[in-house]
């Protein structure tokens, strides 16, 4: 279940509360079941996956991709797999742990592990949402945000694209007003 934190330390886990707090940003957060396929669960339990294994996971979850292709024109998807043994993990993550936005929606379906999306709301306040397995998040284009991993430093996420060019981060000068105790 997603966890939303406000700057004052208030924590919400109820979907209605999360929807209310994220409404000014038009961020969509949904629960998408992975299913009960034991092969897919075994793959998701591993740290590293081969390209063939990633494709196996993607194909097992493609019902969601097919829906997004029809409803929003998505063209491609991939599976990002991050864990502590990934070479240059800190360098890779440093691209996203500063305030930035993208020209296109940033859409992720977390299938294992967890990550934190932080947002600057229109009134200047900030919130952070820990997104966990079986949760889908759509960060609309031009929404100022940041991302980092929780202390486990593990995540598997399906990323959906209309184009890949729109995901280049455009950095802002906004300071992040708070951070949880997570390792970045």
Non-local (6+) Cβ contacts of 97 within 8 A are 146, 147, 148, 184
Q: Quick check: 119 and 131 in contact, CB under 8 A?
A: no
145 marked ligand binding residue: yes
DSSP 7: T
Residue 183 has which token pair? 């390792």
Non-local (6+) Cβ contacts of 112 within 8 A are 44, 45, 133, 154, 155, 156
Non-local (6+) Cβ contacts of 98 within 8 A are 146, 171, 176
102 marked ligand binding residue: yes
Q: Quick check: 7 and 178 in contact, CB under 8 A?
A: yes
Binding site, residues? 100, 102, 106, 145
Binding site for Ni(2+), residues? 100, 102, 106, 145
Binding site for Fe(2+), residues? 100, 102, 106, 145
């Amino acid at each position: 279940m997603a966890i939303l934190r406000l700057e004052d330390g208030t924590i919400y886990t109820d979907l209605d509360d999360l929807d209310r707090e994220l409404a000014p940003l038009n961020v969509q957060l949904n629960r998408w079941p992975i299913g009960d396929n034991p092969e897919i669960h075994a793959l998701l339990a591993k740290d590293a996956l081969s390209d063939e294994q990633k494709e196996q996971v993607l194909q097992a979850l493609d019902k969601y991709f097919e829906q997004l292709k029809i409803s929003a024109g998505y063209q491609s998807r991939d599976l990002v797999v991050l864990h502590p043994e990934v070479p240059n993990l800190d360098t890779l993550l440093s691209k996203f742990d500063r305030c930035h936005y993208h020209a296109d929606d940033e859409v992720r379906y977390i299938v294992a592990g967890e990550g934190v999306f932080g947002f600057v709301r229109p009134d200047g306040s900030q919130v952070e949402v820990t997104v966990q397995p079986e949760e889908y998040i759509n960060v609309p284009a031009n929404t100022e945000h940041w991302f980092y991993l929780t202390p486990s430093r593990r995540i598997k996420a399906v990323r959906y694209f209309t184009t890949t060019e729109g995901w280049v981060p455009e950095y802002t000068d906004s300071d992040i007003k708070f951070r949880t105790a997570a390792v970045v």
